Chain A
Amino acid sequence: MKRLILAHIDVSHHGDLEGHREEARSRFSGEVEVARELVPYPL
């Protein structure tokens, strides 16, 4: 697994998305990002 994208994020956390990303990064050493809307992710 190279990349984790976080989605379905509760509205109560929208003000601290970097905190969400860091929380996931504490458990996964690959690339972590919060989903960006209407931005194409190439395959």
Chain B
Amino acid sequence: MHFTFLGSSGAVPARERDTTSIVFVGDGDAVLVDCGGSPMQKLLLAGVAPETLRRVVITHIHADHVYGLPSLVETLYLLGRRTPLRLACREEHEGALRALLGVFRQLERPEIFPIVWEPVPARERFALESLGSFAVSASPNAHGRMPNIAVRFEPSGGPAVVYSSDTEPCEAVVALARGAHTLIHEATFSERRPKGVGVHSTAAEAGEIAARAG
């Protein structure tokens, strides 16, 4: 089992870094967290068989975290997928994501595989329905007015990994990361320069959160 970054940049991609998304790969199954760039190409470059994708988690609906979703759904369909795909998101975002997929009629074409919606409430350590290789839980973080979640992946008997998603320093992320082996934390900015646009963390703040998570 492993995880792979499909991207690691902030909202603006660069020649060598795409917008941040991560795939967690288990024993015959995979979960994608956020969906930028060209997700199908990135999954293939990462060596992930597209048919093993069981769930997509959209942490929030800023464009860099979600704009590849219609492309992913369409290409999975074109590759012959028939099995349902779970789509976990903040409950406030289900309508917007339905609208996004609706632009391409991906929810109404009967030949396209079903999307199973998994609305995530603003509750700390909310456990998603158990399936596959990972126990997945989520907590709300602090990304200004945008509802958002940090997620924790826990393989059976393996080390837990927590991904903060976009956030300023947040107690709920510290709590979610406690006891984990690895914290993937956003570090959009640096204390070496004034912060730019958006509610984000610096690299120093990411270090503080990791230290506090023990």
Interface residues of A (CB under 8 A from B): 1-14, 16, 19-21, 23-30, 32, 34-43
For A20, give its contact among B20, B45, B190 (CB under 8 Å). B190
Question: Residue on B with the closest CB to A36?
Answer: B5
Verify B186–A23 contact, CB threshold 8 A.
no
Binary interface profile of B, 8-44, with partner A (CB < 8 Å = 1, else 0)? 1111111011101010010000000000000000100
Verify A37–B211 contact, CB threshold 8 A.
no
Interface residues of B (CB under 8 A from A): 1-14, 16-18, 20, 22, 25, 42, 45-47, 155, 158-159, 161, 163, 166, 177, 180-193, 196, 200, 202-208, 210-211, 213-214
Please give me the 3 A-B residue pairs with the lowest Cβ-Cβ distance, nearest first.
A27-B207, A35-B8, A24-B207
Verify A38–B166 contact, CB threshold 8 A.
no
Verify A8–B188 contact, CB threshold 8 A.
yes
Sample (12) of A-B pairs whose CB atoms are under 8 Å apart = A1-B181, A2-B159, A5-B182, A10-B188, A10-B200, A11-B12, A23-B204, A24-B204, A27-B211, A37-B4, A37-B17, A39-B4
Bound Cα distance from A2 to B73, whole angstroms: 36
Known: A1-B177, A43-B158. A37 touches B6 (CB 8 A): yes
Question: Residue on B with the closest CB to A19?
Answer: B192
Verify B190–A23 contact, CB threshold 8 A.
yes
Bound Cα distance from A10 to B195, whole angstroms: 10
Verify A23–B18 contact, CB threshold 8 A.
no
Verify A5–B211 contact, CB threshold 8 A.
no
Known: A19-B190, A37-B18. A29 touches B211 (CB 8 A): yes
Known: A1-B210, A6-B203, A23-B191. A14 touches B4 (CB 8 A): no
For B17, give its contact among A14, A29, A42 (CB under 8 Å). A14
Bound Cα distance from A2 to B180, whole angstroms: 8
Contacts of B200 in A (CB 8 A): 8, 10
